[in-house]
Structure 1
Amino acid sequence: MSFSGNFGSEMSELNKMISGEIYDPSDETLSQMRANAREITARYNVTNRDQKSERDELLKGLFGRTGNDIKIEPNFNCDYGQNIIVGENFYVNFGCVILDCAEITIGDNCMIGPQVGIYTACHPIDPIERISGIEFAKPITIGDNCWIGGHATINPGVILGDNVVVASGAVVTKSFPDNVVIGGNPARVLKDI
């Protein structure tokens, strides 16, 4: 499903979302895109290992771009799918949730443990603005050869360099360079690799 094209002088809610501006998630186009992603992930989540070609087809149709070798254990959920870009040799364990309101780019040879959350979605801090339903999003980038431990949370706007190991249960609220092990809440460098 492609939603590119000329949107005239007024930005669409989709373009606002992708651009990191405040947008209305109840917009009809965005609602339909989320419904499409939920339909695809529901179909994916009832497949089994013997249905590798069907699984690959569903994921490659859902994501913006993938490498050839991609494995995700069900249950997997995402908001849109099309904003997720993953490299070669990508593995995700059970129960991953990716909120891809902005682009999420994950490099080659990455492994994601069970129950990991990767979230680009943001909500206003002001309660009046927040209850209005508006949102904004910040992209996430995860480099090559990264390993994200179970129950870790990657928050909006984070950039992780190459070869980063995220300890189980870490809450990553800021960016980190190449070749570090991070952990804790909020995550901090535990050691260099």
Structure 2
Amino acid sequence: MDQKERMLKELPYKAWMDGLEEERMVCREKLYEFNHLHPREHHKLPEMMKNILGKTGETVNILPPFHCDYGYNIEVGENFFANYNFLVLDVAKVSIGNNVQVAPNVAIYTAGHPLHPEMRNTGYEYGISVTIGDNVWIGGNTVILPGVTIGDNAVIGAGSVVGKDVPADMLAVGNPLRIIREITEEDRPYYYKEREYDQESWQEIQDMLKTKDVSD
């Protein structure tokens, strides 16, 4: 089993062997073009991103700068958006669902190193996959650590360090991460804390939802 196979199987592996350095260089070259595209040509970004990531929905929008290791280990669903300074260390699979929104300065780490110093100094490292469900919102300056699963409809507050799984429909925040409460139908009328939607936006939303129900 070569080092790439070991990496993809989430086994200890050496990142400089068996063509892995060359694969990271190919990704960096693509990212260089992506991150240095002139603002007036930003309409090209979605197609460029589809050439970097392993799988995307039809609509994918990542604002530069964006950084990752390989690209092909990242899969995002339909209607994905990530704001500035999105960082993904994708030595293992990163699977992201539909309608996910990522605020600025979010980092997803699948990569890690052994705890014991002598073992760490051998050069072996590892990657453990990260999974993010549908309709998730990740607040700015959040760090998601290896092996984490975030369930559908969850919201992660800004500045969080996510080192454990977050169940579906939960609001979680902090370092260490705390599950605050469940997100319920009682949250529907509010767009920010206790601020309710105004009549105009509320009516537009109701019309949109009716149209969606018909199309479904």
Q: 1:71 aligns with which of 18, 38, 61?
A: 61
C-alpha distance in 2 between matches for 1:53 and 1:179 = 34
Superposed, 1:4-19 pairs within 5 Å as: 11-19=1-9
Residue 129 of structure 2 aligns with which residue?
A: 139
C-alpha distance in 1 between matches for 2:46 and 2:107 = 22
Q: Residues 164 and 48 from structure 1, CA distance in 2 versus in 1: closer, same or farther, beyond 3 angstroms?
A: farther
Residue 157 of structure 1 aligns with which residue?
A: 147
Residue 29 of structure 1 aligns with which residue?
A: 19
Length-normalised TM-score, structure 1:
0.92
Residue 50 (structure 1) shift: 3.7
4+ runs deviating over 4 angstroms: none
C-alpha distance in 1 between matches for 2:38 and 2:80 = 18
The alignment covers a number of residue pairs equal to: 183
- Gaps (5+ residues) in structure 1? 1-10
Residue 190 of structure 1 aligns with which residue?
A: 180
Superposed, 1:160-175 pairs within 5 Å as: 160-175=150-165
1:59 maps to 2:28: no
Deviates more, 1:28-37 or 1:18-27: 28-37
Indicate the structure with greater helix content: 2
C-alpha distance in 1 between matches for 2:172 and 2:4 = 34
Residue 127 of structure 1 aligns with which residue?
A: 117
Q: 1:180 aligns with which of 159, 170, 173?
A: 170
C-alpha distance in 2 between matches for 1:91 and 1:71 = 5
Residue 204 of structure 2 aligns with which residue?
A: none
SS at match of 1:175: coil
Residue 134 (structure 1) shift: 1.1
1:148 maps to 2:138: yes
* Residues 90-127 of structure 1: per-residue CA shift (max 9 Å, x gap): 00000111000000000000000100000000100111
Structure with greater Cα Rg: 2
C-alpha distance in 2 between matches for 1:34 and 1:112 = 24
* Amino-acid identity (%): 40
